[in-house]
Structure formats: C-alpha cells, structure tokens
Amino acid sequence: MPRALVGPGPWHFGRIVLQCRIAMAIRLTLRPLASLFLLLLGVGCGASAPPTLQQSKTQSAIRGAEVAGAENTPKAKLHLKMAKDHLANAEQLIAEEEYEDATLVLRRAESDAELAIALSKESDARERAEDLQRRVQELKREME
C-alpha cells in the first residue's frame, strides 16, 4: 500500500498529545509568573508617593474618636492613644520615605480610631440602657 493512504504512523497521536501537554504546562507556569511580575511592578510604582489620602483619613478618624468622647471611656481611650501613637510613627516613616510601611501603620491607626469610636458609642448606649432600666424599676416600685 502506498504511504499516503496509511497515515502518519502509530506514534503520531501520542507525540501530539505530549506536545500539547508540554505547551499547557509551560502556559500554566508562565501565566502566574507574568501576573506576579506585573503585580510587583505595580506595587513598586505605587509606593513612590506619600500616602497623604490615608493620612487624612486617619486624622479624621482620630478627630471623630475625640468628638465621640473616647477620652471618657477607658478602653476607647486606650485605642485612641494607640491610634495617635501609630499616626506619629507613620509620620516619621513618611519623613524617611518609607511610604509602604507608613501606609500600613496609618491603616492600623485608622482602625484603632474607629474602634475607639465604636467603644465610646457602646459605652454611651450601655449607660443609657442602665439608666432606662433604673427608671423602669422605680416606676414599678411606685406602682406597687
């Protein structure tokens, strides 16, 4: 029989499958590496500017905690102090042009300030609830 009618041979299909598997392995390996490279490139470029927006957000959160009365609640006061300390540390990092670390510290300071606000509000709500319970007890006694 002529060779053209027989086909490429019995091992041809196996060789194609092997080539496809190799190509897929290369693709699966290079795609995450390329993504990682682009991510690192973006992080490196993004860290070149001072985190002024985050600094403003943190300062606003600290002012909000002060307005909410965090100074009057022991736990809230502690977190407010921690937020102020973190803000001071971040400002020092910004002066040293350590913007990435400063951003992380500023986020922590903002979180502490927000927690101080929540603790202050929780304390106020608890005091009001206790006051209402006392009033209810007094009214019950008067009705007896």
Q: Is the pLDDT of residue 68 over 50?
A: yes
* Proportion of the chain above pLDDT 90, given as a percent: 59
Give the pLDDT of residue 1.
47
Number of other CB atoms surrounding residue 114 within 10 Å: 17
pLDDT digits (tens, 9 = 90+) for 11-33: 555 666 667 677 776 776 766 66
Q: Which residue has the higher pLDDT, 3 or 81?
A: 81
Give the pLDDT of residue 53.
95
Contacts 24+ apart (CB under 8 A), 97-101: 97/50, 99/47, 99/48, 99/49, 99/50, 99/51, 100/43, 100/47
**Which CATH code is given to the segment(s) 50-143?**
1.20.1270.390
> Can you give the pTM of this predicted structure?
0.63
Give the pLDDT of residue 143.
87
For residues 9-48, b (16+ Cβ closer than 10 Å) or e, as one string?
Answer: eeeeeeeeeeeeeeeeeeeeeeeeeeeeeeeeeeeeeebe
Mean pLDDT score of the chain = 83
Q: Where are the domains of the chain?
A: 8-45, 50-143
Give the pLDDT of residue 13.
58
